[in-house]
Structure 1
Amino acid sequence: MTDTTTVVAMPSDRSTNFDWGAVIGGALIATALSFVLFAFGSAAGIASVSPYSWNNPSGMTLTIVGAAYVSIVMIGSFLVGGYFAGRYRRPSGAASVEERQSRDGAHGLLMWALALLVGIAVAYWSTAAVVSGASGAAAGAAAVAARSDGVTTALDRMMRINTDPASTAAPQNSRAEIARVLSASALTRGEITNEDRDYVARLVAAEARIAPEEARKRVDGAIEQAKAAADTARKAAAGIAFLIGALSIVAAGAAYWAAMAGGRERDSNVWR
């Protein structure tokens, strides 16, 4: 006697292929889980560093651990959200196994996109709320400073004191003038004219009471250090952006796979 198994098609009462309730639920779960884990990781990172200890982890160690933790949180959160979206979406009627898996994966991708947008929106509005109080008072001063920056630089050049390299008396507010010259020349345009370089070297020589040649070396070294610091910050920002982009793509694949796994678990209970 041969046993036979009859597969009964479950009718679908939906007019669309997408179950938005499962997608939204998975996105909310992924977003909430990631924020909770990020808060826990931030607290652990702050607790691991103490201003009263000489045995704090190095910057490289904190960077590696932080990047690994962010990777685990992002991928893990989207795995959970994708599984939820695939597991709890309503069946697709008499669709084939391949079609059901494709739809499950599509729900995982939709969940990933929605959770990513929600996370970006929450992070943006949270940051805006934190800085809005402080930025209000600083905005007016920053705008005035930005408008007067070119005028201040022009006035500095017109009113420059003809410093004597042999003099040991430094002009008043020489440090503020040096800062303005470096900000307007070396850091903003990426270069400094020989006239500005010589003038700053004379100011440094008078302020530090050193020989002009030594002052010129110090100015050149400070300019190169400032450029190196700016280049390092630029590379770090590019690396962080690349890491976030790569993790987002990997998280999308994880959500797709988890949604199909959740769909298989759903079908094993619905179709038998």
Structure 2
Amino acid sequence: MENVSPAVRSDTTPRFLQWSPIVLGAFAATALSSVLLTFGATIGLGVSSTAPTWRDASAALAILSGLYLIIQAVLSFGLGGYIAGHSRTPAGTASVDETEHVDGAHGLGTWALAVVMGAILAALIGAATINRTPSMRGPAQASAAEPLLSYELDRLFRAGRRAPNVDLGAERAEAGRILLTTSSHSGLSADDRTYLIQQVGALTGLSAPDAERRVDSVVASAKTAIAKSRRSSIILAFSVATAILLGAAAAWAAACAGGRHRDGAPLPEWMARSNALSRRKTVMP
């Protein structure tokens, strides 16, 4: 009896990703996200800013900005996932479940690539901003508190008369580091408070009581500014993490929907139900 070797199936479903649809979807997602983020920043939606007047913004505006960040991520990743799923070339013999799984994997690939592209773009913009910032004239002038508490430091060392060419870089940096301790559990120590009063009196010419009142006012303002900055940072971090996670789900679902539209198949039951519900709400007066 003649042994016949089993034939290799040529119609086996490919187990690899098609990178052209993924790259196309990632570019579309990144482009739409850039447009929506620029639009949001234009109309004043933002959760962080170095401007002193921004500290008067309410927590509701910060939460609204975070919700906008999540919505734009869902829309952007959804668009990219849909393009990746719709433009993918499916295998002819694959089952419906397997085709949907591969389409969803392409949506996740689009999501991952778009996240990496967005991170690289943000890093490049940040590097360009730092390069355009005037460099410090000395190492003593560098202060971690300067971007956050620059307004408070200006108030602290404000003087009616000062000798020309007086450089307060070292004093501002030291005072900034001291003011950062106001947000700690123990708060500003008595020694640091006394030292600041002496420095303000010596550099501004104020009397001891006036210097004490100025230091107390600036300390309270710095503590409030640090608390608001911390709140904005928490909202920003939570919004970014939520937006990225929901974006992955949106990319998967949109890629599956794009694949079904490509194949002329009906939408999944949960998608069809949501579409019918949205149409019903639109028709209702």
Partners of 1:146 and 1:205 lie apart in 2 by 23
Q: Which residue of 1 aligns with 2:233?
A: 237
Change in Cα spacing, 1:225 to 1:100, as seen in structure 2 (3 Å) is same
- Aligned partner of 1:183 in structure 2 is 176
The one-letter code sitting in structure 2 at the alignment partner of 1:187 is: L
1:36: Cα distance to partner? 2.4
Q: Mapping of 1:64-79 within 5 angstroms?
A: 64-79=63-78
Aligned counterpart, 1:54: none
Determine the structure 2 residue equivalent to 1:59.
Answer: 57
**Which of residues 249, 254, 258 in structure 2 aligns to 1:258?**
254
* CA distance 1:88–1:142, shift in 2 (3 Å): farther
Deviation readout 1:163-187 (Å, 9 max, x if unpaired): xxxxxxx998999587455324332
Tell me the residue number matched to 2:37.
Answer: 38
Task: Return closer, same or farther for 1:187/1:65 CA change in 2, 3 Å cut-off.
Answer: closer
8 Å CA contact 2:78, 2:250 repeated in 1:
yes
Contact kept in structure 2, 1:18 and 1:107, CA below 8 Å: yes
Asked if the contact 1:12/1:91 (under 8 Å) is kept, the reply is no
CA offsets 1:112-158 (integer angstroms, 9 cap, x no match): 000111122122223323442x24x505x2535359xxxxxxxxxxx
Shift of 1:23: 0.9
Distance in 1 (alpha carbons) for counterparts of 2:101 and 2:112: 17
Contact 2:13 2:94 in 1 (8 A): no
**Aligned 8 A contact 1:181 1:196 in 2:** no
| Amino acid corresponding to residue 32 of structure 2 in structure 1 | L
For residues 75-113 of structure 1, the C-alpha deviation after alignment (integer angstroms, 9 at most, x for no partner) is: 111111111111111113322221111111111111000
How far 1:268 moved relative to its partner? 2.1
Q: Aligned runs of 1:172-251 on 2, under 5 Å? A: 176=168, 179=172, 182-187=175-180, 192-201=188-197, 207-209=205-207, 211=209, 216=212, 218-251=214-247
> Matched residues in 2 for 1:78 and 1:95: separation?
26
Q: How many residues align?
A: 221
Alpha-carbon shift at residue 249 of structure 1 (Å): 0.5
> Kindly tell me: are residues 171 and 203 of structure 1, through their superposed partners in 2, closer, same or farther at Cα, counting changes over 3 Å?
farther
| Contact 1:185/1:193 (<8 A) preserved | no
Aligned partner of residue 93 in structure 1, secondary structure: coil
Q: Find the partner of 1:143 among 139, 146, 167.
A: 139
> What is the SS of the residue equivalent to 1:187?
helix
Q: From the superposition, tell whether residues 178 and 88 of structure 1 become closer, same or farther in structure 2 (CA, over 3 Å).
A: closer
Question: Greater shift after overlay, 247-256 or 197-206?
Answer: 197-206
Deviates further, 259-268 or 197-206: 197-206
Alpha-carbon distance change, 185 to 175 in structure 1, aligned in 2, over 3 angstroms = farther
Residues 17, 92 of structure 1: 8 Å contact kept: no
Q: Structure 1 88/144 Cα, relative in aligned 2: closer, same or farther at 3 Å?
A: same
Tell whether 2:113 aligns with 1:120.
no
TM-align CA RMSD: 3.7
**CA distance in 2 between partners of 1:122 and 1:199 (Å):** 44
Moved more, 179-188 or 24-33: 179-188
Q: Report if the CA contact (8 A) 2:142-2:173 is conserved.
A: no
Report the CA distance between 1:33 and its aligned residue.
1.7
> TM-score if structure 1 supplies the norm length?
0.66
Question: Which runs of no fewer than 5 residues in structure 1 stay unpaired?
Answer: 1-10, 47-57, 148-169
Q: Is structure 2 residue 103 aligned with structure 1 residue 100?
A: no
Identity of aligned residues (%): 33
**1:14 Cα deviation after fit:** 7.7
Superposition pairs of residues 74-93 of structure 1, within 5 angstroms = 74-93=73-92
Off by >6 Å, runs of 4+ in structure 1: 170-175
Structure 2 distance, partners of 1:199, 1:143, is 22
| Counterpart code for 2:73 | M
| Alignment check: 8 A CA contact 2:25 2:110 kept | yes
Comparing 90-99 and 197-206, the one that deviates more: 197-206
